[in-house]
């Protein structure tokens, strides 16, 4: 700081005092200006780095999304859900990870900018506050351990594609349709319309009912005196007809399977039939199959004491489907059922050189 001007003894001393005051003022202004320029340079540098990283992340995300669209030969992202390549999950996961990376970059650059600004303005301040910042950091780390747990678990959930927006999931804490996935929480809308906010750190198991494929398992109860062979023949024939229907064949990914007589009760024989479908089409296929089975059996004057959809769980589920190798209808499990030709919805027709179909 400059000393206040004192009454000069003469004109020369007055001029010298004014010059010294102006020199001190200019020096202070220069120091303040340099400090401001340094702070501005740090902030501008961090902003430029953030913009560059944002552009890079966006380009990577757009490249992956465009690649998925081109591979599926579609123009919009929503059409990927109808594409047999099923690249919608890749798009969702890529966009989510892109958002996460942008947030991480923003937070890190803000912290770095603050540290650099403080170090530029007062180089000795950070050293003197080392113990204080260490204590504060330890306290925050202890208090925020649940947040850290949520974030880490959320990153693994997103990166490993365990769930995605639009999936029907069972998180133990909530069951429903996933509406939003972030690194800290997952929002699930249940059948009643309630929106559940589930912390990712509290999720210990995930049951995803929208990945890959699903099974529509239908149990039909018929009277004890029914002709079992006729019932099984009718059920399998109706299921095969459904699978060949142009409206439904794109939702069915394997031939229907007749698992046969499931149980014998006091009032009915329970026969089970199964269709492997796309994950998001299970309920629609099951509903249509039940409707057609009811009409066909009533037409043959076969009563229906009961008809229900079965979801085996626990040990019963593991035993029934026998792991990855469930029972197959082929070769013919039911006498009199015609063998299905290996073509149609399950295999494309082979064509000759002249363009005609090969039988």
Q: 191 and 248 in one domain?
A: no
Q: Is the pLDDT confidence value at 334 over 50?
A: no
Q: 189 and 279 in one domain?
A: no
Q: 252 and 189 in one domain?
A: no
DSSP state of 356: P
Number of helices and strands in the chain (H, E): 8, 9
pLDDT band at 76 (very low <50, low <70, confident <90, very high): low
CA dist 303 and 252 (Å) reads 28
Q: 124 and 16 in one domain?
A: yes
Q: 249 and 286 in one domain?
A: yes
Q: Is the pLDDT confidence value at 197 over 90?
A: yes
Domain containing residue 169: 161-208
**Regarding predicted confidence, which is higher, 11 or 316?**
11
Q: Determine the average pLDDT of the residues in 28-36.
A: 78
Q: Determine the average pLDDT of the residues in 259-275.
A: 86
Q: Is the pLDDT confidence value at 332 over 50?
A: no
Q: Is 359 among the domain residues?
A: no
What CATH number is associated with residue 301?
3.30.70.100
Q: 173 and 119 in one domain?
A: no
Q: Is the pLDDT confidence value at 65 over 80?
A: no
Q: Is 154 among the domain residues?
A: no
pLDDT at res. 128: 61
pLDDT at res. 44: 86
DSSP state of 124: T
pLDDT at res. 289: 92
Q: 203 and 299 in one domain?
A: no
Q: 274 and 196 in one domain?
A: no
Q: 180 and 123 in one domain?
A: no
Q: Determine the average pLDDT of the residues in 330-335.
A: 41
pLDDT digits (tens, 9 = 90+) for 15-29: 777 677 777 777 777
Q: Is 225 among the domain residues?
A: yes
Backbone torsions φ then ψ of 210, nearest 5 degrees: -120, 10
The number of distinct structural domains making up the chain is: 3
pLDDT digits (tens, 9 = 90+) for 92-126: 667 777 777 777 788 788 888 887 787 777 777 66
Q: 66 and 36 in one domain?
A: yes
Prediction pTM value: 0.55
Domain boundary among 78, 105, 128: 128
Q: 242 and 294 in one domain?
A: yes
**Regarding predicted confidence, which is higher, 267 or 349?**
267
- Check whether the bond before 323 is cis (ω within 30° of 0): no
Structure tokens at 217: 């398992």
Q: Is 35 among the domain residues?
A: yes
């Amino acid at each position: 700081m400059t000393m206040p001007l004192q009454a000069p003894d003469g004109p020369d001393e007055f001029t010298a005092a004014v010059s010294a005051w102006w020199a001190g003022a200019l020096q202070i202004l220069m120091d303040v200006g340099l400090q401001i320029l340094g702070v501005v340079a740090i902030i501008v540098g961090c902003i430029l780095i953030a913009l560059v990283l944002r552009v890079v992340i966006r380009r990577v995300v757009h490249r992956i999304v465009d690649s998925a669209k081109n591979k599926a030969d579609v123009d919009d992202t929503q059409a990927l859900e109808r594409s047999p390549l099923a690249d919608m999950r890749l798009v969702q996961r890529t966009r989510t990870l892109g958002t996460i990376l942008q947030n991480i970059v923003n937070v890190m650059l803000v912290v770095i900018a603050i540290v650099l600004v403080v170090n530029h303005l007062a180089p000795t301040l950070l050293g003197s506050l080392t113990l204080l910042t260490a204590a504060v950091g330890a306290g925050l780390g202890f208090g925020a351990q649940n947040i850290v747990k949520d974030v880490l678990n959320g990153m693994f959930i997103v990166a490993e594609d365990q769930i995605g927006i639009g999936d029907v999931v069972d998180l133990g804490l909530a069951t429903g349709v996933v509406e939003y996935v972030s690194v800290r929480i997952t929002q699930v809308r249940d059948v009643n319309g309630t929106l559940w906010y589930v912390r990712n750190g509290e999720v210990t198991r995930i049951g995803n009912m929208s990945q890959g494929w699903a099974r529509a398992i239908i149990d039909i109860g018929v009277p004890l005196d029914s002709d079992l062979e006729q019932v099984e023949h009718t059920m399998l024939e109706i299921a095969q007809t459904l699978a060949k229907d142009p409206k439904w064949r794109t939702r069915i990914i394997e031939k229907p399977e007749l698992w046969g007589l499931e149980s014998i009760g006091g009032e009915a024989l329970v026969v089970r039939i199964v269709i492997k479908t796309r994950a998001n089409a299970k309920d629609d296929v099951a509903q249509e199959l039940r409707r057609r089975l009811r009409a066909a059996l009533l037409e043959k004057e076969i009563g229906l004491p009961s008809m229900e959809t079965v979801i085996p769980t626990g040990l019963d589920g593991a035993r029934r489907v026998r792991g990855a190798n469930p029972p197959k209808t082929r070769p013919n499990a039911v006498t009199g059922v015609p063998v299905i030709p290996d073509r149609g919805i399950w295999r494309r027709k082979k064509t000759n050189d002249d363009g005609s179909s090969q039988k």
